[in-house]
Structure 1
Amino acid sequence: MLEDIEDGTAAATRLAGGTPLHSTLDVADPADWLALDAGVREVAWHRPEFLPGWEHSAPLPADLTQLGESRLALALCHRDGRIRQEAVRQSVRYPGLLPLVVIRCADWVGPVREHARKLLREALNVDSALDLAPLILRVGRRDRGAFGVDVLGQILRQASHGQLAVLFADPDRIVRRFAYRLAIEGQLLHPAELARAAAGDQDTVVQDLCATAALTALGDEDAYEGVLPPLLSARNPRTRSAGVTALRRAGRAEQAEPFLSDRSALVRACARYVVRQQGVDPAVWYRERCTTPDDPDLPPGAVIGLAECGNRADAGLLRLLLVHPAAGVRARAVAGLRALDCADAEQLRPLLDDPAAGVVRETAAALLPSAKELPADWLLERTSTARPRHVRVGAFRLLDARGGTVALRAAVGLFQDPDMKLRTWAAQSVQRWHPSPDGRGGDAEVGELLDQSRHLFSDHMLADASGKPGWTAETAPRSRTLLSTRPPVALVTARLPW
């Protein structure tokens, strides 16, 4: 497989030496053809000695009719439009060069484009269209690439279900989307087949496309038997939500109740809509399941579901679940209290030491508004390497939000942390740190901490700071001048290390 232009240039060199096309690249891989196209121009422009007779100052090849398949492939990719145009005419002798003709259909030179399009329209049939579909659709993303996609659609509308099935399994999601759209347009798939495709495909566009088409095509009660089970058991929440919503139309609203505790908020919301149509109050359903704090079978989705449709009076039930043996339930209880705006800092503080990372993550998020009220020494103690990584991350998240000298102290202390992501986050915290408005000027600890962080700042920044009016080497250490200027936002943006 040709991974990039460098591989394409190597392939071009081999073709120039007479190596057969099938031995040079994977003719079934569209990426190889595109790499070859780019690689030939790279060789012809920067290393013309590998293509004798095609140097910048040499005359154009007088006759391409004598070129074999390998050399004609090079001509089809040549930097000179006149050579490409003549090569397109000659390519009819070698059907194996049709992929390069597809690429030339989006050529930036008009005559080359027109000749290639005429040849593609004449040469394309259902079988060759199925083979070339991945390449045509990839070229279709380019400027002037729509022609090939239009022709492909016209040809494949004549294909049968069995022929299009080859494209349903293509690794390129763009190909699968195109194939399913054609199949739905031509009504080639039964609702049950569409439901299975929605449940099995990894692409969200295909999932939505097929799930919607499956439900739209339903016409009688029996058809639901083959459609609803795949949708309701799908891994993807959007597909499950489509199945749950369809339960009302199918007259099976009672089957939506188990989905009230689904792990997905979207599915839970759809389930609540369906059961309400039957006169069931979802809040009552949730309360009944959350009244037993030590129930080992309590699903976490029921806990957060109570917060989603309950009220602040339900916070008492959620607080009882903070000590539930299941980590998922504890995490959702914290998230529910936060959603109801009932998060009590003193009550949630112990959960920052929870053995489950998910619980600590939710606890840190719930405590962020109270970060300045939490004991600084207590938080600093939890950034020690003796603590689990998720505890160190949660504590530092709160310290970073707290700001001031304590945040700088915590960040510098994490420079030696064994976790690379946490070290990176600590470095970024120092880079964007600035003294709090009520902080003391000339704080010796701050100057010492910034001295330990000099490696994070460029010489240009330090020089710029040292050149400020009134600064002298005797009156202010070089690093302490950073206190008079706000460092830029992190030099490298990265996600928080959750």
Structure 2
Amino acid sequence: MRHDAVVEELERLLDQPHRVGWDEVEPVLLLLAGIDASGDEAAGSAALATLARRPRELIRLDAVARRALWWKWTRRPEVSRSLSRFGEGIASPLGIALATTHGDGRIRERAVREVIARPLPELVPFLVLRSGDWVREVRAAAGAGLAELLHDDPARYLPAALGVGLRVERWLRGSFVRKQLLATAVDARAPLESLLESPDREVRAFAFGVGTWRLDRKVSVALTAPDVRLRSAAAEAAARDCVWTGRVEVLRRLAASPHAEVRVQALTGLVRAGRDAEVVAYLDDTSSLVRALARAVASREGVDVPAYYRSRVTAGAIDGFAEVGGDGRHLVELLAHPSATIRARAVRALRLLEQVPDDRVRPMLRDPSSAVVREATVAVRSVPEELPWELLADERRAVRLAGYRLARRIGPVAELRAALTVVVGEDERLARRGRADAVRMSRALESVPWRRRTVAPLEVGVEESPVLRALLARAAVELDEQTGYLLREHLG
């Protein structure tokens, strides 16, 4: 098998849901054993490299392997061949890695010593796992070997150990690993700079937390890091340095970041630097946290915040006005704004202020923008009896979904009617939702001994009953037998 095909198949299996029965063999382990039994060490190295990039899966596989019924596991020919190669002393790195997961502690201990004798970065994650082993001899050998490798060559082995090590540090015996990683990270030879570019967010956070960084590097991380936790930590550290050194221009640069967690740290720094007037300009920021900070500063500056929000037509100003409260008559005018974003925010703000004019918002259930339709669906307070069914007949999915949601607000009879209506519709996503709701409602009508709550009957009127029976007859082919039976019994 080609090496790229090995990696592709391994990643496919790793991405599948984990539903292996207690007496079944994990297919990933079988694939790895087959690769090792073939004697293709290059393919085995590619498989180990793939596992090293998936530390969570590696930890899971280790746990699954040790729970396996080894009399079934070893009976498989590829597994038997892999174990034989290990017993004969000709095991490949992949074979040694598999042996470290064996259910027999003596085999694991021997495998650990093989890893130490043949120290390869791709085997270090398995050594990290065994350093928390419950067997003392295995744990001692793995811990000593790991400490020695990290001390001798941190540039080579620390990146390999971090992925798994940072995830097992909370284990019962994981504190040893954490201490070794921290001790290695402060070594001048540790490649912390390259670790900041790791695809693993845990590794990036660790590298930034233990390193001593220049201000320009902190700013760079705050502006470019791919995950929010690292951006926030870097921005906080950079803002603190800027306050101490008076680097206001750097704080302004951070305040212009598109990420709210960076902006709020920069604005906090500007407040501490006495630049309150600059922070007031962020009253209509798109982030609620930034707006709250700006309002706190504006109150000290004597700014009329509600008036400020009324004077501006931006998404942040509309959201900010909803947060401070007041007479929202100016928002009603924005319901006809050409921008869909402004219309949607205006509807949401009126809902939060409990000032929704139903006669103006109800037509927006057919707005060209799906976002506006969603906001109007939540905001509208009174629902005419025929409105949901008119919307359910619309050609646009967003409008049909609005009709479905409004029908559920009318009551259980309308909810059942809407569910049976969409079950036979062309919109498969909405049909799945309708089937699920029909099943739920039918089960709620069934009285069973183990259900403590009282079954509430579905009060169907004389005019509604024929309509529901006709819809049920149409939808019967789309519903399971029990659901159809329960609904027919109730509808009569």
Please give the TM-score of this superposition, normalised by the length of structure 2: 0.80
Are the aligned partners of 2:373 and 2:398 in contact in 1 as well (CA < 8 Å)? yes
Q: Which residue of 1 aligns with 2:21?
A: none
Q: What is the CA–CA distance in structure 2 between the aligned matches of 1:134 and 1:108, rounded to whole Å?
A: 21
Show the 5 A alignment for 1:401-412.
Answer: 401-412=409-420
2:175 counterpart of 1:146? yes
Q: Which residue of 2 aligns with 1:473?
A: none
Which stretch has the larger CA shift, 2-11 or 170-179? 2-11
2:32 counterpart of 1:11? yes
2:287 counterpart of 1:264? yes
Q: What is the CA–CA distance in structure 2 between the aligned matches of 1:405 and 1:178, rounded to whole Å?
A: 56
Q: Which residue of 2 aligns with 1:25?
A: 46
Given candidates 82, 106, 110, the residue that maps to 2:136 is 110
Q: Which residue of 2 aligns with 1:190?
A: 214
Deviation of the 1:90 alpha carbon: 3.4
Amino acid across the alignment from 1:122? E
Are the aligned partners of 1:76 and 1:84 in contact in 2 as well (CA < 8 Å)? yes
Q: Which residue of 2 aligns with 1:206?
A: 230
Amino acid across the alignment from 1:233? A
Q: Which residue of 2 aligns with 1:346?
A: 359
Q: What is the CA–CA distance in structure 2 between the aligned matches of 1:107 and 1:28, rounded to whole Å?
A: 23
Q: What is the CA–CA distance in structure 2 between the aligned matches of 1:322 and 1:420, rounded to whole Å?
A: 32
Amino acid across the alignment from 2:278? Q
Amino acid across the alignment from 2:203? V
Are the aligned partners of 1:64 and 1:86 in contact in 2 as well (CA < 8 Å)? no
Are the aligned partners of 2:85 and 2:91 in contact in 1 as well (CA < 8 Å)? no
Residue by residue, what CA displacement relative to the aligned partner does 1:217-269 show, whole Å, maximum 9, x if unpaired?
A: 33445423224412x23332222222223322222222223322222222222
Show the 5 A alignment for 1:215-226.
Answer: 215-220=239-244, 222-226=246-250
Are the aligned partners of 2:420 and 2:471 in contact in 1 as well (CA < 8 Å)? yes
Give SS of 2:158's match: helix
Given candidates 402, 405, 421, the residue that maps to 1:397 is 405
2:190 counterpart of 1:166? no
Residue by residue, what CA displacement relative to the aligned partner does 1:342-380 show, whole Å, maximum 9, x if unpaired?
A: 11222211111111111111111111x42xxx2222331
What are structure 2's unaligned runs of at least 5 residues?
A: 1-6, 15-25, 446-455
Q: What is the CA–CA distance in structure 2 between the aligned matches of 1:349 and 1:262, rounded to whole Å?
A: 29
- Could you say if the C-alpha distance between residues 228 and 192 of structure 1 is closer, same or farther in structure 2, counting changes exceeding 3 Å? farther
Q: What is the CA–CA distance in structure 2 between the aligned matches of 1:251 and 1:75, rounded to whole Å?
A: 62
- Could you say if the C-alpha distance between residues 109 and 277 of structure 1 is closer, same or farther in structure 2, counting changes exceeding 3 Å? same
Q: What is the CA–CA distance in structure 2 between the aligned matches of 1:62 and 1:376, rounded to whole Å?
A: 75
Show the 5 A alignment for 1:326-365.
Answer: 326-365=339-378
Q: What is the CA–CA distance in structure 1 between the aligned matches of 2:438 and 2:208, rounded to whole Å?
A: 51
Deviation of the 1:483 alpha carbon: 5.1
Residue by residue, what CA displacement relative to the aligned partner does 1:29-79 show, whole Å, maximum 9, x if unpaired?
A: 425682875787669642443344898xxxx99976665655444433322
Are the aligned partners of 1:338 and 1:366 in contact in 2 as well (CA < 8 Å)? yes
Q: What is the CA–CA distance in structure 2 between the aligned matches of 1:390 and 1:63, rounded to whole Å?
A: 64
Give SS of 1:443's match: helix
Deviation of the 1:330 alpha carbon: 1.1
2:247 counterpart of 1:247? no
Given candidates 295, 301, 310, the residue that maps to 1:278 is 301
Residue by residue, what CA displacement relative to the aligned partner does 1:143-200 show, whole Å, maximum 9, x if unpaired?
A: 533322221111112246x8201111111111111111112xxxx1134432332232
Q: What is the CA–CA distance in structure 2 between the aligned matches of 1:426 and 1:69, rounded to whole Å?
A: 53
Q: What is the CA–CA distance in structure 1 between the aligned matches of 2:289 and 2:370, rounded to whole Å?
A: 24
Give SS of 1:418's match: coil
Are the aligned partners of 1:400 and 1:429 in contact in 2 as well (CA < 8 Å)? no
Q: CA RMSD in A?
A: 3.2
Normalized per residue, the structure richer in helix is 2
Please give the TM-score of this superposition, normalised by the length of structure 1: 0.79
Give SS of 2:282's match: helix
Q: What is the CA–CA distance in structure 1 between the aligned matches of 2:490 and 2:331, rounded to whole Å?
A: 46
Q: Which residue of 1 aligns with 2:449?
A: none
Are the aligned partners of 1:233 and 1:240 in contact in 2 as well (CA < 8 Å)? yes
Which stretch has the larger CA shift, 116-125 or 143-152? 143-152
Q: Give me the identity figure in percent.
A: 30
State the aligned residue count. 445
Deviation of the 1:341 alpha carbon: 0.8
Q: What is the CA–CA distance in structure 2 between the aligned matches of 1:178 and 1:62, rounded to whole Å?
A: 36
Are the aligned partners of 2:248 and 2:270 in contact in 1 as well (CA < 8 Å)? no
Q: What is the CA–CA distance in structure 2 between the aligned matches of 1:62 and 1:10, rounded to whole Å?
A: 17
Q: Which residue of 2 aligns with 1:178?
A: 206
- Could you say if the C-alpha distance between residues 421 and 144 of structure 1 is closer, same or farther in structure 2, counting changes exceeding 3 Å? farther
What are structure 1's unaligned runs of at least 5 residues?
A: 290-297, 466-478, 485-498
Q: Which residue of 1 aligns with 2:435?
A: 427
Q: What is the CA–CA distance in structure 2 between the aligned matches of 1:404 and 1:219, rounded to whole Å?
A: 59
Residue by residue, what CA displacement relative to the aligned partner does 1:436-490 show, whole Å, maximum 9, x if unpaired?
A: 8654379233333334444566545677x5xxxxxxxxxxxxx432459xxxxxx
Which stretch has the larger CA shift, 167-176 or 135-144? 135-144
Q: What is the CA–CA distance in structure 1 between the aligned matches of 2:416 and 2:158, rounded to whole Å?
A: 62
Amino acid across the alignment from 1:376? E
Give SS of 1:170's match: coil
- Could you say if the C-alpha distance between residues 69 and 349 of structure 1 is closer, same or farther in structure 2, counting changes exceeding 3 Å? closer
Deviation of the 1:430 alpha carbon: 2.5
Which stretch has the larger CA shift, 32-41 or 251-260? 32-41
